Amino acid sequence: MAKKKVRARPLTEAPLAVVILAAGEGKRMKSALPKVLQPLAGVPLLKRVVDTARALKPASIAVVYGHGGKAVRAALSTEELTWVLQQERRGTGHAVQQALPHIEDGARVLILYGDVPLLRVQTLEELLLQAGDAGVALLSVELDEPEGYGRVVRNARGRVQKIVEQKDASRGQLKLRECNTGVLVAPARRLRAWLAAVRPHNAQGEYYLTDVIALAVKSKVPVTPLIAPTALEVLGVNDKVQLAQLEGAWRGQMAQELMRAGVTLADPARVDVRGTLSHGSDVSLDVNVLLEGRVVLGDRVRIGPGCVLRNCEIGAGSEVFAHCVLDGAIIGPDCRIGPFARVRPASTLAASVHIGNFVEVKNSQLGDASKANHLSYVGDATVGAGVNIGAGTIIANYDGANKHRTEIADDVHTGSNSVLVAPITVGAGATIAAGSTVSGAVPAGKLTVARARQTTIEDWQRPSRARK
């Protein structure tokens, strides 16, 4: 059997410098928010591009910014980036020139765009390999409707010769379907020289980055094209319609990844992943579930329709019924939550806890098998095991200025419509009678009643309005 021929890979020892162009105003967005800060699945477009660049392990990442500069820098203030201000926006070639003083001659330069968020790391890795240390690699895309895109011009042997922008293209060139994405890799030293030779002799009077392709060919530097696997991957965002299209694409991509990993989705078109999801086996998500931040779901977890999960962990075998909001909470195994429940940050539920409809838990810890099934508020409380919080029970934790803790021991039962005025301690096995308002310590194993004696006033009459 003949051995499969293995394609030789170029050596790639030169350091990688990434330049992200993000200076555009984005007038078609019709928004006070700079275009590159428009959110895709809850994360700014530019942040998604930076994350992709970071995955390539570059020596440096430079962001060329302009419009809305303060807001752009503030939004990514925690990122380790080289910020380059393009005071005067005179085209993509001019933008890259502003970043080159921050890049050493021996580096390879990868050009990305702050409004092209769906590029895959695998595609960029292939592009870098095609370029090697000394060559140029160009990412192109084949489009059925190439209107508005620069065209990639090849010779009779199929080799790239140049890129012609839409406004400068001839009738014959406008028929070409292979289009420029703007993403390319080039040696820094060569790129510096080519950009110095670029002139704004075009319909827009700008310094085009794309002109370096023809200059590379003229310098006999190999230009290797790589056609993007899908057009979707290289789409940019110019208005809210395109932003919604990419949002849908992102949602579909995340849904496919989840299903391939074994998660059951009631409707792949109606699940939103705006963070990271770690999960066990046999996890099920119903329609209109929104996941934000870091979410961890154990084996056999079931999430009902319309739920929002944000930065939370849910243990194996637990079920969250319809229309619940879980935020910053840790839910133990075999719990039952909802419907219409809210579990707020710093709350921890142990095994087999039940939180029912219209119950809110905030900054509280509930022990094994405790229950709050109806219309209750549990705030700033430590609740033991086997406790039953009766319908309508309120833990009054706030005095108008400060929050106070409530300590409830094991096997406590509170009657319906009880109020526990914090700070308060309730002893093990205590029962609080329905309708009671308790503001002092409740002794263990006793029934505590704190309500007015029922009285009937025989001669009382309900007030009535005088007839006009």
List, for residues 222-251, the tens digit of each pLDDT value: 899 999 999 999 999 999 999 999 999 999
Residue 386 lies in a domain: yes
For the segment 327-334, the average pLDDT, to the nearest whole number, is 98
Say whether pLDDT at 3 is over 80. Answer: no
Same domain, 295 and 432: yes
Of 188, 213, 234, which residue sits at a domain end?
Answer: 234
Same domain, 261 and 377: yes
CATH of the domain at 370: 2.160.10.10
Same domain, 314 and 201: no
pLDDT for res 24: 84
Same domain, 260 and 225: no
Same domain, 50 and 140: yes
Say whether pLDDT at 172 is over 50. Answer: yes
Same domain, 316 and 423: yes
**Checking phi first, is residue 445 left (phi over 0); if not, alpha (psi -120 to 50) or beta?**
left
Residue 390 lies in a domain: yes
> Per-residue confidence at 344, pLDDT binned at 50, 70, 90?
very high
Which structural domain, as residue segments, surrounds residue 259?
240-448
| Biggest distance spanned by C-alpha atoms of the chain | 109
Of 234, 256, 273, which residue sits at a domain end?
Answer: 234
Same domain, 216 and 338: no
Same domain, 122 and 206: yes
> Per-residue confidence at 5, pLDDT binned at 50, 70, 90?
very low
pLDDT for res 466: 81
pLDDT for res 1: 42
Residue 208 lies in a domain: yes
Same domain, 212 and 249: no
State the virtual CA torsion across 157, 161, 165, 167 in degrees, nearest 10. Answer: -80
> Per-residue confidence at 6, pLDDT binned at 50, 70, 90?
very low
Residue 1 lies in a domain: no
> Per-residue confidence at 464, pLDDT binned at 50, 70, 90?
confident
Residue 112 lies in a domain: yes
CA dist., res. 345 & res. 335, Å (int): 17
Same domain, 410 and 325: yes
> Per-residue confidence at 12, pLDDT binned at 50, 70, 90?
low
Residue 467 lies in a domain: no
**For the ranges 174-178, 280-284, 421-425, which has the lowest average pLDDT?**
174-178
| Number of domains forming the structure of the chain | 2
CATH of the domain at 32: 3.90.550.10
For the segment 184-197, the average pLDDT, to the nearest whole number, is 95
Same domain, 300 and 355: yes
CA nearest neighbour of 110 among 88, 128, 86: 128
pLDDT for res 465: 84
Residue 453 lies in a domain: no
pLDDT for res 390: 97
Of 234, 255, 288, which residue sits at a domain end?
Answer: 234
Read off the tokens for 151: 């065209």
Average pLDDT taken over every residue of the chain = 93
List, for residues 24-47, the tens digit of each pLDDT value: 888 899 999 999 999 999 999 999
List, for residues 104-163, the tens digit of each pLDDT value: 999 999 999 999 999 999 999 999 999 998 899 999 999 988 888 889 999 988 899 999
Angle at 408 between CA 418 and CA 371, to 5 degrees: 70
Which amino acids are annotated catalytic?
374
List, for residues 79-107, the tens digit of each pLDDT value: 999 999 998 888 899 999 999 999 999 99
Residue 466 lies in a domain: no
Same domain, 208 and 258: no
Say whether pLDDT at 4 is over 70. Answer: no
CA dist., res. 244 & res. 255, Å (int): 16
